[in-house]
Structure 1
Amino acid sequence: MRISTQQQYFKSIDQMQSGQAKLAGLQEQISTGKKLNTPSDDPVAAAQVLKLELELAQYEKFDDNINVTERRLVLEETILDDVNTATDRMREITIQAGNGTLSDLDRKTISNELNQLTSYVAGLMNTQDSQGEYLFAGSQGGTQPYVLENGRYEYQGDDGQRQIQVGSALYMPSNDSGKYLFEAADDGLSVQLTGQGVFDYESGVSAIEPFVRNATFPNEAAEAQFSTAAQVDGWGALTVRTAETAPLSGIFTYEVVDSGGNAVNDESGNPLAGGFVTTPLSINIHGMDLEIHEPTAVNVGDIELTVSSEKNNILDVAMNLADILAMPVTTGEERTALNEAVAKGINQFAQVAERNIEARTTLGSRLSTLEQVSSSNLDFKLSTETAISQLVDADLSSVISQFKLAEVTLEAAQATFGRISSLSLFNYIN
């Protein structure tokens, strides 16, 4: 095969340029410490690195969210601890107020302290975080949760929680609503009516007049009596059921049944059922007073009675008790009312304290979970960074060896080029 002089020159130059390019690439790896400096160095590895870097950025965002959540939960825990201390003091002085030897002035002093503690606790319950958001307003961080209106505190937030993503599939509540934390004191029973002819609160009108017009508890003793009976017999929701004895007869009957359809008896053990001798009928279901009117063909049917405990917040509990303690006691009835108010206040403060402990226990569990998630995220980050390093970082000992070899090869190529380029037939002719 004939190799021309020009071809020989071009081939030698191409080999030396290739060696120089390889040497330059190895030198860049040594200077940067990376074998992947541009996507063209290894397109497949570059695509993998891009994917891994996105995962790493995600875990870094999770770490930021964990830090934010921890700060909010620690702040909430601190506030709840302070509220609990104030609640304990309220309960302590309430017990003192029940001492029959205290004078009106003594009770007035306790009343003033209750009002001062109320203002202090109200400030705690309206705490804002470092970003200016209210901690206990539920999901409405921009709304002040407790506002004083008409002499009592009204909750303006909702019962939601702010969920923050702290893991690939884990969301953590970063707060608790004031409705859950502080609206924990039982304050009487309320009755909700649903069924035929009951007033429609959404539309504001009722097409027909309901046959149950009134369902109330006259006093706390009646509420306690009803609660005990409902718990013992396991009623659930009660239903007042009316029916026409025969089609178009115009004669109606009623009965009261529990959630299982079983007849409910009165205190004497007789079923609460019968006809309408007079209208309205007044019946008593173990403390609950009902007013039942004889139905018509239009509104005959069922009305369900759902009894639930109304909740009050710690601020109003303290203010209600402070108002009673500020009043002078001169009669036996006033003394009885005072004793009942004190007993109720002690019980309500205990309920608030129990909810506080429950909430702080939950906070401890969340903080522990965040610590575990943070540790897991750190492991994931470490493995991801290791994978990126394997794709990007150069093995300097290996690269330096390759560089030395490429350097020697290039020098040999340059040295032999000078000798080969001088070979010519004209040298022999001369």
Structure 2
Amino acid sequence: MRISTSQLYANGVNSMLSQQAKLSKTQLQVATGQKILTPSDDPVGSVRSLELTRAKEKTEQYERNGNLLDSRLRLEESIVSNSVDVLQRVRELSVQANNATQSNESRQSIAFELRQQLDNLLSYANTKDSSGHFIFAGYQEGSSPFSKTAGGYVYNGDDGQRQLQVGPARSLPDGDPGSEVFMNILNGNGKFQTGSNPANTGSAVIDAGSVTDLGQFNRETFTVRFTSSSQYEVLNAGGAVVSSAAYQDGGDISVGGMSVKIKGPAAAGDEFTIAPAQRQDLFSMVEALAVSLETPRNSNSGRALQNSEINTAISNIDQAMDHLINKQTGIGSRLQSLERQTDINAGASLQIAENLSLVNDLDYAEAISRFSQQQAALQAAQQAFSKVQGLSLFNYL
């Protein structure tokens, strides 16, 4: 077959260009450490690489969400723990104030510290995170969630609870709205509350009581009324007498599955109430105690009323502490769940990285060997072209 000079020349050039392209590609692979430079290099591998890259990005987002969640939950846990410490101090002050040796002046001094502790609680409830967001405001994180008004303490946030996705099928709340942490706490003993009529003239004091029969307990309201210093009757919410008995100082008075104790001398007309527990904010609980201690009591009946108010406050504080401890436990459970998910994410990240490496990473030993072969092939093509280019018919004449 006859081959023209131009065709021979073109074949030589194309051979060199092909070898140069192969060499350039291998050189780029070695420089980047990647064996897939374009989808056409390995269509199946390219698709797999894209899938793994997307999975890697999702896992990295889960990790970022997890770090944010961990930070916010640990801050919330710290605030709730500090609030429990404050309430523990409030309880200690309550017990101290309930001592018969306390004077009006000493109780007012205790009330002064109570108000300082109340300020601490309010400050904790209005805590901001590192981004300046109020952590107990729900979705209204740009505004202070708690404030004091003439009518009491007000929650300005909402009940929103943001969920952060920390795994393919796992989301966790990054906090709790203040309405669930500092508000809506059942007062009294958690089932019912007791109280003394401010108009009582005797010096008897009622305790917080307890539920003795859940089968009979149906959240009814009752009034214990003394018909004389030695006799009392129990009335229901409609004013009907449901029982009556001789008064025994410190003895049990049972009604509706509940039992209370009244201690001290009572007077005819004295009344004590037993009513269902109501939801209350913990700030008002401490405030009520401070107000009681700030009010001078100069009569036996006045001091008895104050003792009943202190007993009520102690029961309220116990309920508030239990409430916060339960919240603290819930936060701890979330942190444990997050820790387990973080370990799962770390394992997934490692597996994805290994698979990406198998798909994308270059085998340097093979690539360098191939580079040397391609370099030799290019040199051979260049030498062959040089010799062919030098051929002429005149060399044989």
TM score, norm. by length of structure 2: 0.76
**Identical amino acids, percent of aligned pairs:** 34
The residue type paired with residue 232 of structure 1 is G
- Change in 2 beyond 3 A, CA 1:101/1:235: closer
Counterpart of 2:112 in structure 1 is 112
Match of 2:216 among 233, 258, 266: 233
Is 1:320 the counterpart of 2:288? The answer is yes
Q: 1:178 to 1:421 in 2, by over 3 A?
A: closer
| RMSD between aligned residues | 3.5
Change (3 A) 1:283 1:188: farther
Deviations 1:122-178 (Å, cap 9, x if unpaired)?
Answer: 111111112222111233323322211115212222333221111121111111122
Give the direction of change, closer, same or farther, for the CA distance of 1:133–1:326 in structure 2 (3 Å limit). Answer: same
> What is the identity, as a one-letter code, of the residue corresponding to 1:61?
Q
Deviation at 1:93, TM superposition (A): 0.9
* Pair 1:356-2:336 in alignment: no
Counterpart CA distance in 2 for 1:171 and 1:74 is 17
Q: Contact between 1:146 and 1:156, CA under 8 Å: does it hold in 2?
A: yes
Please name the residue that 2:187 is paired with. 186
Aligned partners of 1:110, 1:176: CA distance in 2, in Å?
A: 32
> Does the alignment pair 1:370 with 2:343?
no
The one of 358, 370, 374 aligned to 1:406: 374
Question: SS of the residue aligned with 1:231?
Answer: coil
Taking a change above 3 Å as real, the CA distance of residues 185 and 418 of structure 1, as seen in their structure-2 partners, is same
> Bigger CA drift: 34-43 or 390-399?
34-43
Q: CA deviation at 1:387?
A: 2.3
Find the aligned partners of 1:218 and 1:371 in 2 and give their Cα distance. Answer: 46
Looking at structure 2, the residues matched to 30 and 229 of structure 1 have their Cα atoms a distance apart, in angstroms, of: 81
Distance 1:347 1:154, change over 3 A: same
Question: Counterpart of 1:101?
Answer: 101
Structure-1 residue corresponding to 2:16: 16
Amino acid at match of 2:349: K
**What pairs up with 1:290-305 in 2 under 5 angstroms?**
none
Cα distance in 2, alignment partners of residues 72 and 155 from structure 1? 20
1: CA distance between counterparts of 2:241 and 2:51? 71
Query: Which amino acid counterpart does residue 365 of structure 1 have in structure 2?
Result: S
Alpha-carbon distance in structure 1 between the residues aligned to 2:296 and 2:4: 126
For 2:370 and 2:382, how far apart are their aligned partners in 1? 18
Tell me the CA shift for residue 31 of structure 1: 2.2
2:289–2:310 Cα contact (<8 Å) kept: yes
Q: Which structure 2 residues correspond to residues 7-406 of structure 1 after superposition, within 5 A? A: 7-150=7-150, 152-183=152-183, 184-186=185-187, 228=211, 231-233=214-216, 309-406=277-374
Q: How far has the Cα of 1:229 moved from its partner? A: 8.4
Shift of the alpha carbon at 1:330?
2.4
Q: Which runs of 5+ in 2 are unaligned?
A: 198-204, 221-233, 243-254, 257-274
C-alpha displacement at 1:345, in angstroms?
Answer: 0.9
Contact kept, 8 Å, 1:145 with 1:178, in 2: the verdict is: yes
Q: Is the 8 A contact 2:146 2:155 kept in 1?
A: yes
What letter matches 1:233 in structure 2?
Q
Give the partner amino acid of 1:134. Answer: F
- Alpha carbons 1:185, 1:314 under 8 Å: kept: no
TM-score normalised according to structure 1 size: 0.71
Contact 1:114 1:318 in 2 (8 A): yes
- How far, CA to CA, are the matches of 1:189 and 1:352 in structure 2? 10
Using the TM superposition, give the Cα deviation of residue 223 of structure 1 relative to its aligned residue in structure 2, in angstroms: 13
How many pairs align? 347
Shift of 1:316: 0.8
Q: CA deviation at 1:372?
A: 2.0
SS at match of 2:148: strand
Residue deviations 1:216-250 (CA, integer Å, cap 9, x gap): x997999989x95882236599xxxxxxxxxxxxx
Q: Residues 30 and 284 from structure 1, CA distance in 2 versus in 1: closer, same or farther, beyond 3 angstroms?
A: farther
- Shifted more, 28-37 versus 98-107: the winner is 28-37
| Paired residue secondary structure (1:368) | helix
CA distance in 2, matches of 1:223, 1:232: 22
Residue 41 of structure 1 aligns to which amino acid in structure 2?
Answer: D
1:205 is matched with: none
> 2:161, 2:173 within 8 Å by CA — same for their partners in 1?
yes
Partner of 1:301: none
CA separation in 1, counterparts of 2:70 and 2:374?
A: 55
Q: CA separation of 1:419/1:129 partners in 2, compared to 1, >3 Å: closer, same or farther?
A: closer
Alignment deviations for residues 182-210 of structure 1 (CA, whole Å, 9 cap, x no partner): 2324159999xxxxxxxxxxxxxxxxxxx
Q: Unpaired segments of 5 or more residues in structure 1?
A: 192-216, 238-266, 273-280, 288-306
